[in-house]
Amino acid sequence: AQSVTQPDIHITVSEGASLELRCNYSYGATPYLFWYVQSPGQGLQLLLKYFSGDTLVQGIKGFEAEFKRSQSSFNLRKPSVHWSDAAEYFCAVATPPGGTSYGKLTFGQGTILTVHP
Amino acid sequence: DAGVTQSPTHLIKTRGQQVTLRCSPKSGHDTVSWYQQALGQGPQFIFQYYEEEERQRGNFPDRFSGHQFPNYSSELNVNALLLGDSALYLCASSFAGAYNEQFFGPGTRLTVL
């Protein structure tokens, strides 16, 4: 069964500092990987996704993520954080087309990001 | 272009009651998925509907049921509500052939007293 671990429940950074949010997944082959962001009381907004190809993917709002097969990781990064980035971030894994669970996203527990001025 | 819409925004019920939540998918999408997000947790997959049929189901009891209409909108029904059913219920839409690329609505906050 697929699973996702986000080791950091809460991260605090200063505005302008760099950011890295960790995500480790469990899946037998190369999965589809996603990062979503959720502001308080809101739904989920897709930041970026990885299906195949270049292991460094660019997303919206200046975010990027790198897929590392050897470490089963898909960490999210941003070089300079803005106060508006404060939110909760979720990593998700999904089965590629043809898999038995194709269409089911499995999420991690989330990482809450606080940004200090 | 309207995104995914859900109604109602908030709902308060008592234990043992039944509830129906509604979702309209993003324009051009024909597949609807439902997720439960308990406080402090990540969303958990309940089920996914395509062509008015349930094509995938997560680990939820039969008290959770759904329906998809010919216009692709969907309902989530929960019977015999328990306190533990209190959560944010998220609807996501996608289109056949790209089931994983899901766009989420704002959610319905259900409180069970």
CB B26 within 8 A of CB B1: yes
Domains of chain A by residue range: 3-116
The chain-wide mean pLDDT, for chain B, equals 95
- What the block records as the tokens of B76 is 């989530």
Closest chain B C-alpha to A16 CA, distance in angstroms: 27
Closest chain A C-alpha to B14 CA, distance in angstroms: 22
Chain A nearest-CA residue for B58: A104
Choose, out of B49, B100, B101, the residue to mutate when testing the contact with A (most A CBs < 10 Å): B100
Interchain contact A40–B (C-beta under 8 A): no
- What the block records as the tokens of B40 is 């402090």
Residue ranges and CATH numbers for the domains of chain B are 5-112 (2.60.40.10)
Nearest to A103 among B56, B90, B107 (CB): B56
Distance of CA B110 to CAs A45, A100, B20, B77, Å?
21, 31, 10, 12
Please give the backbone phi and psi of residue A70, each rounded to the nearest 5 degrees, phi first.
Answer: -65, -25
Interchain contact B66–A (C-beta under 8 A): no
Closest chain A C-alpha to B10 CA, distance in angstroms: 11
A109 contacts B43? CB cut-off 8 A: no
A105 contacts B58? CB cut-off 8 A: no
Q: Given pLDDT bands bounded at 50, 70 and 90, which one contains residue B96?
A: confident
A-to-B residue pairs, Cβ atoms closer than 8 angstroms:
65
pLDDT in 10s for each residue of chain A, 117 residues: 889 999 999 999 999 999 999 999 998 788 899 999 999 878 899 999 999 889 999 999 999 999 999 999 999 999 999 999 999 999 999 988 877 778 899 999 999 999 998
- What the block records as the tokens of B113 is 């007293």
Cis (ω within 30 of 0) for the bond into B8? yes
* pLDDT exceeds 90 at position B2: no
Helix (H, G, I), strand (E, B) or coil at B112: strand
CB B89 within 8 A of CB B108: yes
- What the block records as the tokens of B75 is 């309902």
Please give the backbone phi and psi of residue B106, each rounded to the nearest 5 degrees, phi first.
Answer: -75, -15
Helix (H, G, I), strand (E, B) or coil at A83: helix
* CATH class of domain segment(s) A3-116: mainly beta
A49 contacts B41? CB cut-off 8 A: no
CB B58 within 8 A of CB B45: yes
Interchain contact A59–B (C-beta under 8 A): no
Tens of pLDDT along B101-110? 899 999 999 9
Give one word for A115, left, alpha or beta, with left for phi > 0 and alpha for psi -120 to 50. Answer: beta
* pLDDT exceeds 70 at position B1: no
List of residues 6+ apart from A14 with CB closer than 8 A? A81, A115, A116, A117
